[in-house]
Amino acid sequence: MAKSLTEKILEKHIIEGNKEEGKEIGIKIDQTLTQDATGTMVYLQFESMDIPRIKTELSVSYVDHNTQQSDFKNMDDHIFLQSAAAKFGLHFSKPGNGICHQVHLERFGIPGKTLLGSDSHTPTGGGLGMIAIGAGGLDVACAMAGAPFYLNYPKVIGVKLSGKLKPMCSAKDVILYILSLETVKGGVGKIYEYFGDGVKTLTVPQRATITNMGAELGATTSIFPSDEITKEFLKLQKREDVWQELKADEGANYYKVIDIDLSKIEPMAACPHMPDNVKKISELEGIKINQVAIGSCTNSSINDLGAASEILENQTVAENVALGISPGSKQVLMNSMEAGIISKLVDAGGRILESACGPCIGMGFAPNSNAVTLRTFNRNFFGRSGTKSAGVYLVSPETAAASALKGEITDPRKIKLDYSKDYSSFIKINDNLIIKPLSEKESESLETVKGPNIKPCPKAKVIEKEISAKVILKTEDNITTDHIMPAGSKILPFRSNIPEISKFTYSQIDENFYDKAIEAKQSVIIGGENYGQGSSREHAALAPMYLGVRAVIAKSFARIHHANLVNFGILPLTFKNSDDYDKIEENDILELTNIIESLKNSSTIIIKNKTKGTTFEAIHGLENRAVDVMLAGGKLNYTKQYSL
Ligand code: MIC
Ligand code: SF4
């Protein structure tokens, strides 16, 4: 039978379970990546497993998120990460070397391999033909220890591309268009597989823009075939030897097929505050802007900066616009300097920021009050830019540059009609910020180095038969992990210190959340649809766990956050009847009954609302392995109990 590419790669990696849509499988992970903001917990967890060395083919620890270093904390984290990489046999990518996903694409990704990353944009690797999945840090630690990664066998959506993008229309506009069709929850439990004649018109970085932002669909991942274009990209990276051709069989069966004619794609923007709030630029033209930021793991390849530089060449950005550029990697930065791109951008008034996540995660370059900011990033969640009153529009580099010139949202086709030049062959490689792993013998006697802000990862409580807990928060639909555990320069330095970071839990939407949780001792959160979408940060589960949250009852969950809740012993439940959501209020006392028995033998749990005197049912829907994790009191306890 004709197979999809996804099926072919998964088939080679399945070690537990069978190909049955929606059912749990365990797959072998070939490569892992971590970044510093999630990585410190990953290596603390790995260390606590007492495994001397990683068991993957390759694992890389990147530093790209917390690079502002306003005091000792960030750099203490970097040093800890470097010492852990040396001790456990990883590559270490030093700060300044670039954003994990861009660097991994350039230097490490291999078509046909599986990659698990403690960052939700790990699917960027799908641009190279990898099955690249974002996960919580503990799942990545377990994969490094040689354990399978568990996921539900996904539905495979085919995206058939035909035609060719028109000048000034870009890969970013393609994924924004798909978001407008599929929404931020349309991809849950799905893999988007691209095929068709249009694929060969897209470069690897363009494909990676699409797979990167596929994360915003809630998808497990997205993947492109590995073809001659992939080979050319790897050849330029002097890694041609890892190339192999990979594609779906003719006539492969997809759950559904989305047809896209690239020549019909127009410049688009995701309007505040959701990546699927997409409109055509033509509908937004004229909106005055204050800031433009070009960069992030979505759009910071050399051609992205090159396109912006051509639009801005010999011009000056509008008086009221601040332009910031963060190149995706040291390679992009160096080659953009040699190609004259950086001088054009600086000449036009751009500020060159570090090769790091920077403004994308609220680490500097925060916009002014009530600002309109255009960003080539992938997320525009409320408050993420660092300024609560700002509105972020997500756009292509072409639209960003054209709008920076005009001082208002502008269709780039009105500024320039040409194709932008292809800078991709402009490439000089210098890996001197990547520290290679030591031999087993050399690393044997090493110890990790922990500064005073690095505290052990707290353990979850073992689940009891009954739990009585207070509802301390009731949320709307599409709550993101940025709502649950915000990022930004004030909070990110506490990623290695759960007691401290827990004080910021839900601070964006309820300043009293921490006090309420402490007072209640045991609590429950009520959520709407797609609860926990966005980032993979397990801190959004770890901190609530630390504060005594025992269950989240929601209409539906995002994949990674659901797994993180289980990993840290918080019971994720969905309403059997979604009308019951309306019948619960904050401060109600809920009693979850007969939990252990229900987890083992039934799919539902009976919940009594003691305040209202009502009873309702919630579904746990956990597979046997997840039930065992819950019963053990979270994945750390579980892995110890049933050693890998
Ligand atoms: C993000 O884009 O939200 C982040 C910051 O990269 C996160 C990881 C984190 O919170 O550390 C992600 O996407 O997983
Ligand atoms: Fe970094 Fe932003 Fe990409 Fe997250 S989305 S990895 S913060 S650049």
Number of the ligand closest to the Cα of 99? 2
Residue of the nearest CA to atom 9 in ligand 1?
A: 537
DSSP H or E segment with residue 81: helix 72-88
- Tell me the β-bridge partners of 408: 288
| Any atom of ligand 2 within 6 Å of the Cβ of 553 | no
Ligand positioned closest to the Cα atom of 378? 2
Distance CA 486, CA 506 (A): 7
Q: Which residues contact 57 (CB under 8 A, 6 or more apart)?
A: 30, 31, 113
| Residue 534 in this model has a pLDDT that exceeds 60 | yes
Which atom number of ligand 1 is nearest to the Cα of residue 378? 2
Q: Is any ligand 2 atom within 6 A of the Cβ of residue 360?
A: yes
> Given this model, what pLDDT does residue 363 score?
95
Atom of ligand 1 nearest to the CA of 360: 2
Q: How far is the CA of 621 from the centre of ligand 1 (A)?
A: 27
Does the pLDDT value for residue 603 go beyond 60? yes
Check residue 642 and give its pLDDT.
54
> In this structure, are residues 384 and 278 in contact, taking their beta carbons and an 8 Å threshold?
no
Expressed in angstroms and rounded, the spacing between residue 540 Cα and the centre of ligand 2 is 17
Query: How remote is the CA of residue 212 from the centroid of ligand 2, in Å?
Result: 10
Test site for ligand 2: of 62, 101, 172, 329, most ligand atoms within 8 A of the Cβ: 101
What value does the mean pLDDT of the chain take?
A: 97
pLDDT in tens, 276-321: 999 999 999 999 999 999 999 999 999 999 999 999 999 999 999 9
If we measure between CA atoms, which residue out of 454, 456, 451 comes closest to residue 636?
Answer: 456
Residue whose CA lies nearest to ligand 1 atom number 3: 535
Task: Decide: 99 in ligand 2 pocket, CB within 6 A.
Answer: yes
Residue 529 CA: distances (Å) to CA of 51, 275, 484, 578:
39, 16, 15, 10
Best residue among 384, 385, 537 to mutate for probing ligand 1, ranked by most atoms within 8 Å of CB: 537
Distance of CA 209 to the CA centre of its chain: 13
User: What atom in ligand 1 is closest to the CA of residue 134?
Assistant: 14
Per-residue confidence band for 371, with pLDDT thresholds at 50, 70 and 90: very high
Residue with tokens 């807990």: 469
Name the pairing type of β-strands 589-592 and 467-474: antiparallel
Q: Burial, 581: exposed, middle or buried (Cβ in 10 Å; 0-12, 13-18, 19+)?
A: middle
The verdict on the CB of residue 120 being under 6 Å from ligand 1 is yes
Task: Name the residue of 32, 33, 34, 38 whose CB sits within 8 Å of the most ligand 1 atoms, as the mutation to test its pocket.
Answer: 38
Q: Which of 124, 378, 394 to mutate to test the pocket of ligand 2 (most atoms within 8 A of CB)?
A: 378
- Is the CB of 297 inside a 6 Å radius of any atom of ligand 2? yes
Q: Is the preceding peptide bond at 101 cis, omega within 30 degrees of 0?
A: no
**Residue 263 reports pLDDT greater than 70:** yes
Strand boundaries in 376-460, DSSP class E: 391-394, 434-435
What residue type is assigned to position 554 of the chain? A
Residue nearest to atom 1 of ligand 2 (CA): 357
pLDDT at position 606? 97
Q: Which DSSP helix (H) or strand (E) runs through 255?
A: none
Q: Is 121 in the pocket of ligand 2 (CB under 6 A)?
A: yes
Give me 216's structure tokens. Answer: 């915003």
Which residues, other chains included, contact 243 with Cβ-Cβ below 8 Å and sequence gap of 6+? 111, 226, 230, 231, 234, 235
The residues facing 260 across adjacent strands are 161
The pLDDT score that the predictor gives to residue 455 is 97
Distance, CA of 552 to CA of 543 (rounded, Å): 13
- Phi/psi zone of residue 49: left (φ > 0), alpha (ψ -120 to 50 degrees), beta? alpha
Decide whether any atom of ligand 1 lies within 6 Å of the 361 Cβ.
yes
Q: State the residue for tokens 């396109």.
A: 307
Structure tokens given for 494 = 């506490």
- Residue 420's pLDDT band (cuts 50, 70, 90): confident
Ligand nearest to the CA of 480: 1
Cα–Cα distance measured from residue 42 to residue 118, given in angstroms and rounded to the nearest whole number: 8
Distance 242 CA to ligand 2 centre (A): 26
Indicate the pLDDT class of residue 459, thresholds 50, 70 and 90. Answer: confident
What pLDDT, on the 0 to 100 scale, is given for residue 419? 66
> What's the pLDDT at 403?
98
Residue 259 pLDDT greater than 70, yes or no: yes
* Residue 113 Cβ < 6 Å to ligand 1: no
The Cβ of residue 369 has, within 10 Å, a number of other Cβ atoms equal to: 9
- Do 108 and 37 contact (CB within 8 A), yes or no? no
Question: Does the CB atom of residue 121 touch ligand 1 within 6 A?
Answer: yes
Out of 32, 61, 65, mutate this one to test ligand 1's pocket (max ligand atoms within 8 Å of CB): namely 65
Q: How far apart are CA 556 and CA 581, in angstroms?
A: 11
Specify the pLDDT at position 631: 94
pLDDT above 90: percentage of residues in the chain: 96
- Asked if the model's pLDDT at residue 643 lies above 90, the reply is no
| pLDDT for residue 641 is more than 80 | no
CA distances from 347 to 117, 310, 323, 352 (A): 37, 12, 12, 11
Which residue do the tokens 């403690």 mark? 118
Give me ligand 2 centre to Cα 296, in Å.
6
CA of 44 to the centre of ligand 1 (A): 18
**Quick check: 283 and 270 in contact, CB under 8 A?**
no
Kindly give the pairing relationship between strand 322-326 and strand 221-223.
unpaired
CB neighbours of residue 122 within 10 Å: 31
CB-neighbour burial class of residue 371 (10 A; exposed 0-12, middle 13-18, buried 19+): middle
Per DSSP bridges, beta strands 372-375 and 391-394 are parallel
In the Cβ-directed half-sphere of 200, how many Cα atoms lie within 13 Å?
5
Q: Are 75 and 63 in contact (CB under 8 A)?
A: no
Mean pLDDT throughout 416-445? 90
Q: What is the CA radius of gyration of the chain?
A: 23
3 state SS of 642: coil
- Pair 313, 420: CB distance under 8 Å: no
Read off the pTM: 0.98
635 C-beta closer than 6 A to ligand 1: no
d(CA 132, CA 141): 16
Mean pLDDT of 147-162: 97
Quote the ligand 2 centre to 536 CA distance (angstroms). Answer: 11
The pLDDT tens digits for 180-238 are 999 999 999 999 999 999 999 999 999 999 999 999 999 999 999 999 999 999 999 99
Residue with CA at minimum distance from ligand 1 atom 10: 537
Q: Is the CB of 357 under 6 A from ligand 2?
A: yes
Q: Which tens digit of pLDDT belongs to each residue from 548-580? A: 999 999 999 999 999 999 999 999 999 999 999
Q: Look at phi and psi of residue 6 and say left if phi exceeds 0, alpha if psi is from -120 to 50, else beta.
A: alpha
